Amino acid sequence: MGARLAFASGWHEEAWLKRTLLAVSAASLTAGALAWFTDRPDPSAWLWGVGTAIILASLVTEIGISLGRGEFGLDLIAALAMGGALFLGEYFAGIIIAMMFTGGEALEDFAQRRARHELTALLDRVPRTAARFTGKQFEEVAIEEIEPGDRILVRSGEVLPVDGRLAGDSAMLDESALTGEALPVLRRSGEYLMSGSINPGNPFEMVASRIANESTYAGIARLVEAAKTAKAPMSRLADRYALCFLAVTLLLAAIAWALSGQATRALAVLVVATPCPLILAVPVALISGVSRCAGKGILVKGGGALEMLARARTVMLDKTGTITDGQARLLETKIRNDRAPEEVLRLAASIDQGSRHVVACALVAAARERGLVLLSASDLRDFSGSGITGCIEGRQIAVGGWDFIRPIVDDDDFSREIEIWIRREGTIAVAIAENGVLAGAFLLADEVRPEAGTVLRQLREAGAQRIVLATGDRADIAESLASFLGVDNIVAEMKPEDKTRLVESEKATAPVMMVGDGVNDAPALAAADVGVAMGARGAAASAEAADVVILVDRLDRLVSAVHIAQRSRRIALQSIYTGMGLSFVGMVAAAVGYLSPVEGALVQEAIDVIAILNALRALGHPLRLWGQREHLSQQELIELEAEHRNLMSVVDEIRHTTERIQHLSGPEVRERLAQLDALLRERLLPHERHDDCVLYPLLRQRLGASHALAGMSRTHMEIRRQVHHLTSLRQAIASTKPNREQLYEIQRLLHGLEAIVRLHFAQEQEIYRAFERSS
């Protein structure tokens, strides 16, 4: 915190000095002009000369300090121009040069403040105190005193002081400063909360998980300070070119003086010469890109990391937590025929509320996503990660792995069926028993992120020539991913040191970007040309080792970062070429006598303004030309994805019906199919109809192509056709018991319908994310 205050104090003193010098030069210019207009040339010359001398003295002092630090600045050109004007008696030209110099300094100050806005906003929100529960009441303490396990009250409008978990039922949090998500996020009991989030709603309690210095926000503050001071390779290269520019300027001024015999021509050359496009526009463009990334929840540690992000041509990706979600999600359920699937899931999740095991948390999350109201359990006993037991409404419930449940249930056909069913590669099985009877089982897995395919394709479009998947998993699991992801190479069963060696070998052919999230990725992230950490749930070690930290749990932000980096670099190069070209033309014009020193000063300032304003374009979105597509807003994307999540219970019901009807009697089959038919017509078909009639036309309009999404509309037709076919098959058995062939046909239809709907939802989600504004 002290370093941050010192940085702020030094920065404000420097800004005050620049404003003071600008005021002095402006006052001298104005007073001298008034004296000149009242026919008093001597006082006007004296006022202009004194003003120029004050600015020159300040500039010479600054140059001396820089030389003492071993830095050679190009302010020497401005000093020579002002000194030459005083020597030649060109006092009006001198004050104009001084005014242009101090104005340029003020413009630089504005540009830097504007470019760093998002970074500064992150630091300005650091909390200093928190309300901690001391046993009887809450008392205000410094955040440095908070320890893991402390209960903290977060009042309305306050910033979360440390990382922790929600102790209440739910809380609405504004995480926009950390993740770039515009809308508040609903967090439920036990969910992880990031320091730096704002509570826009009612007060709530949380339990601290980390001390303040190790929490998310403190780490971000350290990274921001590093980002502010880091210097990009392009900036260092610009400094070297600027020295060459100084030599060319002095040589051209000497030639102009020697050939013309007029010292004012040499002065005009010095005045019009501006290295601003080199020494200022480049860092402004790059720090603008860094700031824009911060606004999207992507923390880039300075212009150097941003520049390397733009240049990377080989991308190495870790699997767990990067290509996959990094957490278990419910895939399938298999429930005893006489039980309702949602009721069994509700019982399992209600018991699992008492466990902090990651699989238990996944079941609880799955139940809440489906809108299930969880029950209170008593007599809870947690068996060290194997399982948990408890009592709900007089029923004894046990939830856990198969090895935990198998000894307490009967050996019947259903248990043997479950034992075979759970043997699926890459999944975790959780079983539930009620009063000693096996009620069902759940399969969970760490799924590939829905946006993974789109991200890899967009990385190739952005210039990635080689994509490598590096994982510690077995080769067969890794190869199954590579078979549909389309990566160039896959390396499995890797240890941390193996990943580091792989990075070093890939660096021999092209700049390497490494993307990971765990502690085991930290060495490879540090070894890569640019390391990118998925920091939303990732380890602190990987975030500290990385050059770029993605604070929101979305892989597609990686593409956003690359696009921003490449655009910022293009704008920096544009500023260099355009600005230096204009400056050279102006110097030649001054050398041959077309520009006086005063005119040269005005031209020089115009070039500076053009270069800096062009560099500041890196803060904004690219201009959208007529006919280019509009994008979905973040809120629209969230709403569309929420609709699909709400419909997953309907898709699950298709599968449950498919599995059950072969065990039911004729009347039960008819009743079950009637319920499913009604569910599909009440929830699924209206959703598809709305997409086809409202959403798709809107997307086609934004694309400017009337035929776009035709394939998706065709899928809607197929879904409607299959639901109609189901209705026909159901009516065919309305008065008779279905025979074996009819049951087979119904099951075949339902299997196909489920597959189509799941694939269709996945395709739509990828399309929607492609429409979201990403750069």
Active site residue ranges: 318
User: Going by C-beta distance under 8 Å and a sequence separation of 6 or more, which residues neighbour residue 540?
Assistant: 214, 219
Tokens of 40: 């008093």
CA angle 747, 753, 759 (to 5 degrees): 135
Contacts of 32-36 spanning 24+ positions with Cβ under 8 A: 32/91, 32/92, 32/95
CA angle 327, 329, 335 (to 5 degrees): 150
Give dist(CA 90, CA 601) in Å, integer. 13
Burial 435-457 (b: 16+ CB within 10 A, else e): eeebbbbbbbbbbebbbbebbbe
Tokens of 158: 């306050």
State the amino acid at position 624 in one-letter form. Answer: R
Q: Are 43 and 35 in contact (CB under 8 A)?
A: yes
DSSP code, position 617: G
Q: Are 218 and 211 in contact (CB under 8 A)?
A: no
Residue 757: count other Cβ atoms within 10 Å of its Cβ.
23
| Residue 466 backbone dihedrals phi, psi, to 5 degrees | -150, 130
Q: Which of 242, 227, 338, 335 is closest to 281 using CA atoms? A: 242
Tokens of 474: 């077995």
Residue 195: count other Cβ atoms within 10 Å of its Cβ.
26
DSSP code, position 683: I
Give dist(CA 304, CA 616) in Å, integer. 18
User: Going by C-beta distance under 8 Å and a sequence separation of 6 or more, which residues neighbour residue 197?
Assistant: 159, 160, 173, 174, 175, 177, 178
C-alpha dist (Å) from residue 25 to 22, 52, 741? 5, 7, 96
Give dist(CA 384, CA 276) in Å, integer. 65
- Give the DSSP H or E segment for 627: none
Give dist(CA 429, CA 253) in Å, integer. 80
User: Going by C-beta distance under 8 Å and a sequence separation of 6 or more, which residues neighbour residue 216?
Assistant: 163, 178, 194, 195, 196, 535, 551
Helical residues (DSSP H) of 39-90, grouped into ranges: 41-68, 75-88
Sign of the CA dihedral with 300 first, then 304, 310, and 312 last: negative
Q: Are 459 and 440 in contact (CB under 8 A)?
A: no
Residue 139: count other Cβ atoms within 10 Å of its Cβ.
12
Give dist(CA 751, CA 760) in Å, integer. 14
Q: Are 470 and 499 in contact (CB under 8 A)?
A: yes
Give dist(CA 345, CA 363) in Å, integer. 8
Contacts of 125-128 spanning 24+ positions with Cβ under 8 A: 125/159, 125/177, 125/196, 125/198, 125/217, 126/1, 126/4, 126/159, 126/217, 126/221, 127/158, 127/159, 127/160, 127/161, 127/195, 128/1
DSSP code, position 339: S
Tokens of 652: 């699950």
Q: Are 139 and 162 in contact (CB under 8 A)?
A: no
